[in-house]
Amino acid sequence: MSHLKESDITPQEWFLNRRQLLRTIGAAGLLSTPLNAFADSSLRFQPNPQYRPDLKLTDAEHALHYNNFYELGTDKSDPYRNADRLITDNWQVRIEGECAKPQTFDMDDLLAIEQEERIYRFRCVEGWSMVVPWIGFPLSKLLNKVEPTSKAKYVEFISILDRKNLPGQRFNILDWPYREGLRIDEAMHPLTLMATGLYGEALQNQSGAPLRLIVPWKYGFKSSKSIVTIRLVEKQPISSWMQATPSEYGFYSNVNPQVPHRRWSQAKERPLGSFFKKKTLMFNGYADEVASLYSGMDLRRYF
């Protein structure tokens, strides 16, 4: 895919994407095509050199066609096949709860925050993994805007509820809407990203458009897609997965090769597109950055 090459080889400078190019041409009066025809892939971002590990990127063909997004179906190919069932027009995100300035943001507000590209490892609890270039901004930048109070000990993330259009929400596979949570220090951690794009373009629906969370040291299910509400709370929230199967899915869900899932080992993972497995790293390779968040905690108990 051509956009994979774009994000891969673009040096550390502002990336002039197609829409900007079109806007420039349009402003010069050379173009008559309505610019909103290209709106869904517009994103201006800067690669962050701090997060460009020397790792081979997963082929976009895999990352965009093998997904977990139960609102769009439970087969790995369902999210891509049913992508148009997710309606993202006029998307807004409400940030509320324990904060001085609760606010509703639209996507223009969020895209006005400086967007950066970061290459992260991503590890699903099921045992597959990928290395992909997300675009977005640290969640802390957004949370600081609402001024969390001292009672904000946790953050809850609530995804879209649209039973009429989302095929998966016709079934009680999970307790909808999809809910996840982080401790406030995890949410404020510089690695925690609100993603708006992937492979140089705005998020595709199957990836959780228009806005999803990325917490690279935790199993993938903590990285909620298509978020509509972020709630600052005092008590530890109960995620949809904890509610569905408390014995298998804990609140923390840090990637940990030493703590097996109830039904399988977590020692190894299969990178998407690869036949061979490789060893899973503690905290998915981010131990230097995040291990201190859990010092003194028994990670078998707080799984």
Ligand X SMILES: Nc1nc2c(c(=O)[nH]1)N[C@H]1C(S)=C(S)[C@@H](COP(=O)(O)O)O[C@H]1N2
42 interacts with ligand X by CB under 6 A: no
> Does 159 carry a binding-site annotation?
yes
DSSP per residue, 85-145: GS--TT-EEEEEESBSS-EEEEHHHHHTSPPEEEEEEEE-TTSEEEEEEEEEEEHHHHHHH
159 interacts with ligand X by CB under 6 A: yes
| CA 245 – CA 225 distance, rounded (Å) | 20
154 interacts with Mo ion by CB under 5 A: no
Q: How far is the CB of 206 from ligand X (least distance, A)?
A: 6
Instruction: Please list every residue from 170 through 189 that binds ligand X, using CB under 6 A.
Output: 178
Taking CA atoms, 275 is separated from 85, 182, 269, in Å, by 32, 33, 11
> Binding ligand X by CB under 6 A: which of 7, 42, 205, 207?
207
Q: Write each residue from 64 to 93 as x if it is in contact with Mo ion (CB under 5 A), else as -, in one continuous string.
A: ----x-------------------------
Q: Write each residue from 274 to 293 as x if it is in contact with Mo ion (CB under 5 A), else as -, in one continuous string.
A: --------------------
Contact 79, 212 (CB under 8 A): no
| Binding residues for ligand X, total number by CB under 6 A | 15
Burial code (b: 16+ CB inside 10 Å, e: under 16) for 275-294 equals: eeeeebbbbbbbbeebeeeb
Nearer CB in complex with ligand X: 207/229: 207
124 interacts with Mo ion by CB under 5 A: yes
2-10, 64-72, 99-107, 142-150 -> range binding ligand X (CB under 6 A): 64-72
CB atoms within 10 A of CB 271: 19
> Binding ligand X by CB under 6 A: which of 129, 205, 226, 229?
226
Alpha carbon distance, N-terminus to C-terminus of the chain? 38
Contact 224, 157 (CB under 8 A): yes
- Residues near 238 by beta carbon (within 8 Å), at least 6 away in sequence: 179, 181
216 interacts with Mo ion by CB under 5 A: no
CB atoms within 10 A of CB 21: 12
18-26, 105-113, 142-150, 221-229 -> range binding Mo ion (CB under 5 A): 221-229
The binding site for ligand X (CB under 6 A) comprises 67-71, 124, 159, 178, 207, 220-221, 223-226
List of residues contacting Mo ion (CB under 5 A) = 68, 124, 220-221
